[in-house]
Structure formats: C-alpha cells, structure tokens
Structure 1
Amino acid sequence: MNLALWICAGLLAVVALTGGISKTFVPKEKLAAARGGGWTEDAGVGFVKALGILELLAAAGLILPAMVGIAPVLVPVTAVCWVLLMVGAMITHGRRREAGFVMLNLLYLALAAFIAWGRFGPGSFIG
C-alpha cells in the first residue's frame, strides 16, 4: 500500500509541477495556443499565474512533508485540495466541451482521492 501511495503521489507531483511551471512561466498567449489551453483566453493573467503557483505548491505538498518528516499530514490535505482543483478543471473543460481533458482531470482526481484516502487511513504517516 505504501509503495502504491508513493508512486501515485510521485506521478501526481510530476503532473502538478509540469502544469505549475507552464502556467507560472509561459505567457498566457502561448498557453492559449497550446492544445487544451484555450480556457486561458477567458481567464486573467493573474488567475492563470495563481493556478500555476497553487500547482507548484501541490507538487511540493504531495512529496516533501512525508520525505522530510515534517507535518506529513499535509500530504493528504494537499491531495484533497488537488481533488477540489480537478473538480474546477473538469467543470471548465466540460463547459468547453473538451471531453478528453475532462477524463484526464478525472484520472488525476482519482489519483488524488486515492492518496487522500490512503494517507488519512491505512497508509497514514501518523501512528
């Protein structure tokens, strides 16, 4: 169980890091032109950058607290926050009729839900 949770957290952290870097450092116009980035046309630059920073924090929050042994409860808390972020992403892509991205976000949501369930429950770092 522990290995599966670490693998899922690692995969999700890579997704969050990749998305966070692109949203934080790539110009909005370039993001809008990329596949799946059309939603940025309707969003302000500050909003896109804020999402990017949240994703960078999520990448760190899924791995670092457990790795360094400081406040490991932040791992499942971060996973719950990722679930909420993916609900928003699914709504956004759903409104744009981008079913493929809705399904991808659903996969990420499922990974985060597994991490939250596992780290709050049977694979908890506490105890």
Structure 2
Amino acid sequence: MNITLWIISSVLAAAFAGAGLMKISQPREKLAASGMAWAGDFPPGAVKAIGAIEVLGALGLILPAALGIAPALVAWAATGLAATMLGAAVVHLRRGEAKAVPVNAVLLILAAIVAWGRFGPYHF
C-alpha cells in the first residue's frame, strides 16, 4: 500500500503542479478564454493564489517524505488539496458547470486516500 500511496501522490503532484503553474503564469483573461471560465469571476490575485496553493500542495505531497523532513506534512498537504477540490466542485456547481465536477471528485478522492493512508496506517 505504501507504493500505491507514493504513486497516487506522484500523479496528484504532477496534476496540481501543472494546473497551479498554469494559473500562476498566465493572465486571468487567457485562462478564462482557454476553458477556465470560472477565472473570469475571480480577481487576478485570487486566481494566482489558487495556483500557488496548488503548487505548494503538489510540493507538499512529495518533498517532505522524499527529504525526510517533517514527512507528516504529506498528509496535511493531501488534506488541503482535497479541501481545494471540494471548493472547486462547489464553484463549478454554482456556475452550472457540472461537467467539471467529476474531475474535481476524482482528485478529491485520490487526495483523501493519500491523507487517510498517511495520517493512518501508512504514516511515515
């Protein structure tokens, strides 16, 4: 199960790092035009902050355990990313973008599995 949690963490880290870096590096208008219509409803600083949270969460899924420095932070990073996905699902539902919610749900479930495993029986 430990290897499975590492694999899930790696996949989540890649997904959140990519999404977060995109939000940080591109203007809000370009994000909204490229399919992230929700970005148009948020101030540019909020979109950048969401991107930063995603990148930091991605780093938190891997670096603490890989470096052996405060590995308990992996579970907290997973919990934070699960909460982020819950918030994203709420935003998409309120905007009538129900097609985006399954992606949020899958990422939330994967993050919750990592949090469960790292808080519980497979902690570092």
Structure 1 length as normaliser, TM-score?
Answer: 0.95
2:64 paired residue number: 65
**1:19 lines up with 2:13 in the alignment:** no
Which residue of the partner structure matches residue 53 of structure 1? 52
State the Cα distance separating 1:27 from its structure 2 match. 1.0
Structure 1 position 3 matched with structure 2 position 3: yes
Deviation of 1:120 (Å) = 0.8
Tell me how far 1:105 sits from its aligned partner: 0.2
Q: Separation in 1 of the partners of 2:57 and 2:92?
A: 21
Total equivalences in the alignment: 124
- Which amino acid in the other structure matches residue 8 of structure 2? C
The residue type paired with residue 92 of structure 1 is: V
Unaligned stretches of 5+ in structure 2?
none
Which runs of structure 1 show a deviation greater than 6 angstroms over 4 or more consecutive aligned residues? none
Residues 45-78 of structure 1 deviation map (CA, whole Å, 9 limit, x = unaligned) = 0000011111110110000000000000000000
SS of the residue 1:72 aligns to: coil
Q: Distance in 1 between matches of 2:46 and 2:98?
A: 23
Name the counterpart of 2:113. 114
Partners in 2 of 1:96 and 1:104 — Cα distance?
16
Match of 2:31 in 1: 31
Which 5+ residue runs of structure 1 have no aligned equivalent? none
SS in structure 1 opposite 2:123? coil
